[in-house]
Amino acid sequence: MSYVAPPLLHQQMFSLDHAAWVDLLATTENLLIIQDLDGVCMGLVKDPLDRVVEIGYLEATQRFDGHFYVLTNGEHTGKRGMNGIIERSLGGAELAQLGRYYLPGLAAGGVQWQTRAGDISHPGVSEAELAFLASVPETMGDRLRQFFEPHPDVLAGPVLEQAIQAAVLDNMASPTANLNTFYSLLGDHPSLYIDLQYAIQTLMEDLLRDAASQGLADSFFVHYAPNHGRGPDGTEILWFSQGDESGTTDFQFMLRGALKEAGVLALLNRYYAARTGHYPLGENFSVRQAPHSHAELLDLVIQNFDPALMPTLVGVGDTVTSVVVMEDGQPVAKRGGSDRNFLQLIQAIGQHFDTGNLVTYVDSSGGELKNRKALVLDDRGGTSVVVEGPGDARDGDDPLVLNVVFPGGYRQYCQAFQTAAARRH
């Protein structure tokens, strides 16, 4: 019987061939890794202040210098930002600065740029917008206190204040209400938690109206994580808690244009410039100038980027959802997740340019949060295979293909990443 080579990684789905993944990262010269953070290189926790990152992983990113960027809806700065996590993990800011341990790339959905040295800028963002954003955390805290005033028997006093401190993320460019702590505290009051989701959704709508009254009608939008995709008007669909699933926990007030998929273009633009000295989209291009639709973003890449220089892109994320619901008697797939769109764009770029781009998925369901669906594995002939992904098993025509998956979560991913970095170095 003649030997038949297995399909290449980018042609596979739910592959567990981590050795081949490591080999690709270690040996591909023209490579660009675009990676999410929370749940990918560190565990998901209820309080973001408890996050830690391993030094070995940080050192591995340095070995990919010039070929590695982060792309996150979190932030580099602030007490809950990635820089603080790095500094605490290393034992101080001085060590982080001396060793250039800061992670280069885009945060806040693409509007906060950072260099390896920790230099921060906000391309395309005005002072008026930053000033409005600075006022949002206090408003979030006040609204949470108002919500619980009629329920002193459920939550009050120091416990409530501590929960509010954990929930209100005073990010510079994407202030966020994170309800993970409240989901745990309201375990015996599920309907009240759903009411809280409604209340924070209403708060977000109020903030958008307040911004419009100050001449900032086109400045902001709301990101729900996780979510059920986007509705016909382009706004994201809130995932209300059901059963033992917390649904949407992160309500992020973000700058319009701060879309991860647009961030892919901004990072590609910088990658090309670093290699050629020329910015295909212009030196001052930012995500706020990018179109919002998948087709238009792909067209912009096709029209402006030299195919001969296009790198193999490896996208890494952990938040991809889908659920099939019945509408008018017909099954309809609601697809979402904050990593879905940027991973799907990376996939489409690879298909057009024939560069073998990889979509890498890290199973973060083993963390403290209950809004992730685990990969389902089965043992077949002594070999583990993935039989069900993070989406709805009934969603048979999901366009996003997860090429390589890490069922062991961030620890398994980081180990493979470090192995690839050591070989590449």
- Please give the Cα distance from 300 to 279 (Å, whole number): 13
Beta bridge partners of residue 225, listed in sequence order: 250
Residue 350: pLDDT band with limits 50, 70, 90: very high
Residue 382: pLDDT band with limits 50, 70, 90: confident
Asked whether residue 266 carries a pLDDT value surpassing 80, the answer given is: yes
Candidates 49, 124, 118; CA nearest to 83 is 118
**Beta carbons of 301 and 326 less than 8 angstroms apart:** no
- Please give the Cα distance from 128 to 233 (Å, whole number): 27
Output the six-digit token pair for 408: 């062991």
Alpha helices in 51-126 (DSSP H): 55-63, 82-90, 93-98
Which of residues 228 and 121 earns the better pLDDT score? 121
Asked whether residue 4 carries a pLDDT value surpassing 80, the answer given is: no
Residue 3: pLDDT band with limits 50, 70, 90: low
Distance of CA 53 to the CA centre of its chain: 16
Cα-only R_g, the chain: 21
Model pLDDT, residue 2: 52
Residue 5: pLDDT band with limits 50, 70, 90: low
Residue 424: pLDDT band with limits 50, 70, 90: very high
Model pLDDT, residue 229: 85
pLDDT in tens, 103-113: 999 999 999 99
Candidates 33, 34, 32, 51; CA nearest to 42 is 51
Model pLDDT, residue 230: 86
Output the six-digit token pair for 402: 């997860």
pLDDT in tens, 157-170: 999 999 999 999 99
Q: What is the separation, in whole angstroms, between the first and last Cα of the chain?
A: 39
Q: Kindly give, in sequence order, each residue whose CB lies less than 8 Å from that of residue 189, ignoring residues fewer than 6 positions away.
A: 154
Asked whether residue 192 carries a pLDDT value surpassing 90, the answer given is: yes
- Please give the Cα distance from 46 to 1 (Å, whole number): 54
> What H or E segment, with its residue span, contains residue 201?
helix 190-213
Least confident span in 21-25, 147-151, 255-259, 357-361: 255-259
Pairing of strands 68-71, 31-35: parallel
CA dihedral over 141, 144, 149, 152, signed as positive or negative = negative
Model pLDDT, residue 286: 96
Residue 176: pLDDT band with limits 50, 70, 90: very high
- Please give the Cα distance from 70 to 264 (Å, whole number): 10
Question: What structural domains does the chain harbor?
Answer: 9-125+258-424 (3.40.50.1000), 127-218+220-255 (no CATH)
Candidates 144, 369, 134, 162; CA nearest to 253 is 134
pLDDT in tens, 405-422: 999 999 999 999 999 999
- Please give the Cα distance from 369 to 172 (Å, whole number): 24
Alpha helices in 240-335 (DSSP H): 260-276, 294-304
Q: Kindly give, in sequence order, each residue whose CB lies less than 8 Å from that of residue 393, ignoring residues fewer than 6 positions away.
A: none
pLDDT in tens, 37-51: 999 999 988 777 888
Which of residues 381 and 225 earns the better pLDDT score? 225
Q: What is the mean pLDDT of residues 92-121?
A: 96
3-state secondary structure (DSSP) of residue 277? coil
Percent of the chain surpassing pLDDT 70: 98
> What H or E segment, with its residue span, contains residue 194?
helix 190-213
- Please give the Cα distance from 246 to 181 (Å, whole number): 11
Half-sphere exposure of 32 (CA within 13 A, CB side): 27
The pLDDT mean for the chain works out to 94
